[in-house]
Amino acid sequence: MVGIAVAQLRHERMRTVIAVVGVAMAVLAAVLLASVGIGVLEFGEQKFQQSGQDLWVTGGPIELRPGTVGGFQNSLVNSHEVAADIEARDSVATAVPMIFQTVYAGQNTSEFQTLVGVGSPTDGNLVTFREGGAFPSTDRHYANGTYDGPMSYEVVIDERTADLLNVGVNDTLHLGGTIATARENEFTIVGISPTYSQFVGAPTVVVPPSELQEITGTTASDRASFVLVRATEGANVTALEAELADSYPQYTIRTNSEQLRATLEDQAVVLLSGGSLFVLAVVAGVLLVLNLQLSFVLRHREQFAAVAAIGTSRTSLAGIVLVYTLLVGTLGGLLGVGLAIPGIEVVNAVTAAITGFEDVAGLSRRILLGGFGLAVLVSLIGGLTASLYLARSNPLDSLD
């Protein structure tokens, strides 16, 4: 049976090539989708761990507000007071508000780019620098809620912002929530860091929280996206989470893993779409192999009848079909796994170009073995169905 199946592979080369390529494409699609899905989860966990925080205090989802200054409706109000109250606890090392807004940025007052503005400290182990350093961690402009203190007018940017605006350390940038405000506020670049750009996947400018609120006109409600909480060494994070939940019932307190899960839940439609594509790739592979095998059986029914007439059993004939299909699956699986290795590089290059996140998807031995196993499974289903059809039919009926 193996010999006949191998001979059949060589005899109908075009049909074999189509079948092998079809299985390979199903494997390639499934492997790439699985690699991206698992890679996103691992990438998200890594980024949350790199944040150096233990708890995230949020007031609800961050809403886009097109046409408004800043473009984001941050839901946590009185953020500086909340952060100060949380930081006063013995089990808390730091608690700082983090703010996201869109800002206009330009090297001069005539040409501006829209970038992501981040209001956050830049000192500590969280932020890594390519050039320069951090601005002072003390938010002097906040001045106990008056917003009358001196502004530092210092900004940290990422490499993409530097390339986009052709600026570097010690150059100046005009920043503001509106073009008019940007023309009035000139900041000095003190450092270049990829940290926040990697976190949000876009070119960023980072300034002290109160200064971002000042230039985007959100000082009245002191809104922030999050309050990030880092517990003291040895503190019980679970107990601290429960304590903060009791103290701030109007806010949501999450650990890193819970915050990641909430982020993924917000993208349920995207995740379901990816899962649907995975299932579609498998189903398409099964249908392709099944169609080819059934057409093979129907096209060669007279040859099968002649072989059956000289005493070959229907079980043996069905076995030839199954072995042929498994050979196709093996070849398709090897080809699909081979194409997945350069394919994942292409996916990462496209992802980096669009989102700024690098090396999101990665291949593991488990994924590659799963892809090869999928090829065998797809072929097995198609082969078993065609073999069952042949075994239950009577090839002699095809003889006149």
Tens of pLDDT along the chain (400 residues)? 677 666 666 666 777 788 788 888 888 888 888 887 777 777 666 666 665 677 888 876 555 554 445 455 677 888 889 888 998 888 988 888 888 888 999 998 889 999 999 988 877 666 778 888 888 777 889 888 889 999 999 999 999 899 999 999 999 999 999 999 999 999 999 999 887 887 777 889 999 999 999 998 888 888 888 888 888 888 888 888 898 989 888 888 888 777 666 666 555 555 666 667 777 777 776 777 777 767 766 666 666 666 666 666 667 767 777 777 788 888 888 998 898 888 888 887 877 776 656 677 777 888 888 888 888 887 787 777 777 776 666 655 555 5
pLDDT at residue 117, as a whole number: 92
What is the number of helices (H) and of strands (E) in the chain? 13, 12
Q: What are the phi and psi torsion angles at 50 (to 5°)?
A: -70, -20
Task: Provide CB contacts within 8 A for 180, sequence distance 6+.
Answer: none
Closest CA relative to residue 217, chosen from 3, 69, 390, 10: 69
CA distance 30 to 59: 38
Q: Using an 8 Å Cβ cutoff, are 208 and 152 in contact?
A: yes
Which of 87, 1, 9 shows the shortest CA–CA distance to 332?
Answer: 9
207 closest CA partner among 189, 181, 183: 189
**What DSSP string describes 283-314?**
HHHHHHHHHHHHHHHHHTHHHHHHHHHTT--H
